[in-house]
Structure formats: structure tokens, C-alpha cells
Amino acid sequence: MVDYKCGYSGLGVGVAVLDTGIYAGHLDFGSRIAAFRDFVSFRRNPYDDNGHGTHVAGIIGGDGTASGGRFTGIAPGCSFIVLKVLDRFGNGRKEVLLKAFRWVLANRELYNIQVVNISVGTTCRSACDNSLLIDGVEQLWDENLVVVAAAGNQGPRPGSITAPGSSRKVITVGSSDMLTGKGAVSGRGPTSECICKPDIVVPGNKVISCGTESPFAYGIKSGTSMSTPVISGACALILEMEPSLSNVEIKRRLLLGADDLGYDRNIQGWGRFNLKKFMETL
């Protein structure tokens, strides 16, 4: 399998996006796609036959060029390392995710990978499947990578956090505007290990971000997949300013700066993400 390398200098914080791919022609990404690896169809050049990954990447770090600055991601100076692990239907296999995790570990220094966005979740058929995915993301975490995973859209029943977001270590993100009432799908804890999850929540309903139809396209999507990249982008942003921060320190800053919504911890985690507080919290 051949890696795509675009020749980007890699000066920005590298964010690995494990998803359906990326539409490299979108103006908001410029030349910041540092690498692309296709674990599904083994194609060399970047593509996205679903649109989910492009939308996620735009939230993380689209620079707003195509919209004249109207729609801008959280960390427009980051670089993207895109690993296609989901097919055109948005489906994937546990084995593929595990291969992608290993690739990230092997290539983290080459591409300055510091943040890993996983807007992917599964309600695995067995506890063994869950444990393999959780072990995989925790290996990334133990190497001081900031791993951010979706809580999943299987809520609102208790215990509906999907793997690998059910890991006690990684930063698990739910959707603050999809917690209760009609359309309440954001996954909630506790996990099978009785861990309170998610860790934090972010608006995820009807989010506008990059599309795949043209270099100027934007689209609307909803779910915890759209909440998760907000946190990944924020982590990249703080690492640009304070590169010595550990993943544990960053997680602590996120939780300390969250706004309490008044819900149970297994619904809202520590609360709704507040970017201003996050950037200022010592």
C-alpha cells in the first residue's frame, strides 16, 4: 500500500482523521493534507465517497476560504493526516480501525501527529470486540496522543456510549443539543466498567461544514460525529500555543472549563465545552 504525501511542510499540529476520507479539492483545506492512507480500497490519492470525513475535517480546521471566512474550523492552521477506515456507506470493520491505530503510532513523528479524531463508534457484538478497540485507542493515549472519540448516536438510553469512546482514558464527546427531548440521540453512560461518560458535550445538531460537491461546497450534518471534531480542533489549537501540554493536562483543562448544564454526569459529562475558558484555564 502506498501513502499519499502532498509535500506540506507539516508546521501545523497534525490531526489524524479516521473517517470516510477527505475531498482534497475543497478550498478550505488548501495544501494542508499532509498524508492520506486508504485502508478500504487502497487508492493512493485522497477522496471521500461519503462526505462524512470531509465534513468532520472542515470542523476541525477548514480555513473558510470558500465562504469568505463565514464558515471556519476551530484550528485553521493544523495539518490533516487522513486515514480512510469507513466505506462509502459509512461502515467499517474493527480490524481496519486497529490497523489505522498502528499506522498512527508508526508515523506520528513523521507527520507531527498530536491529535487523533475518531468520529466513529460501534456497538460491537461482543465484549471482546469492544476490548480490542479500547485497548487500541488506549495505546495511542499512553503514547501522549490526544485521542478524541464520539459518544455515538445510540442514546438516550443509559449505557449507550459506543466503542472506542467508552474508553476511560480518551476524551469522549457528546452533543449538547441532542441530550434530551425529541432527537435525543447522544450516547450516555455509564460504560460497562461503570465509568461516567461522555466527558464533555458540544452542539452537534445541523452543523455546517465542508462538502464534496465542489471546491466551494458546504453541507449540514448532525450527530456526535460533528461535536467530536470541535474538541479535536480545540486541542490542536491549544497545542499550537502550548506544545508541551500532555494529553492528561489538556483533558483536565477541557473539564475544568466546561459549563455545567445541570444534567447527570452520564448525560452531560462535565458540561458544555467553552472555548474561551479552555484557552484561559491554567
Distance CA(148)–CA(115), nearest Å, equals 8
Opening angle at CA 29, ends 28 and 34, nearest 5: 175
Q: In whole angstroms, how far apart are CA 209 and each of 34, 38, 58, 84, 248?
A: 20, 22, 5, 19, 29
- The torsion angles phi and psi of 137, rounded to 5 degrees, stand at -70, -30
| Active-site choice (19, 49, 63, 177) | 19
Type of residue found at 60: I
19 given a catalytic annotation: yes
| Active-site choice (26, 49, 52, 232) | 52
Q: For residues 172 and 227, is the Cβ–Cβ distance under 8 A?
A: no
52 given a catalytic annotation: yes
Structure-block grid coordinates of residue 211: 462538502
Q: What is the DSSP string of 130-196?
A: HHHHHHHHHHHHHTT-EEEEE--S-TTSTT-PPBTTT-SSSEEEEETTSSSSTT--------TT---
| Active-site choice (160, 166, 186, 225) | 225
Distance CA(175)–CA(79), nearest Å, equals 25
Type of residue found at 157: R
Structure-block grid coordinates of residue 89: 456507506
26 given a catalytic annotation: no
Q: Is the dihedral of CA 78, 25, 174, 74 positive or negative?
A: positive
Residues with active-site annotation: 19, 52, 225
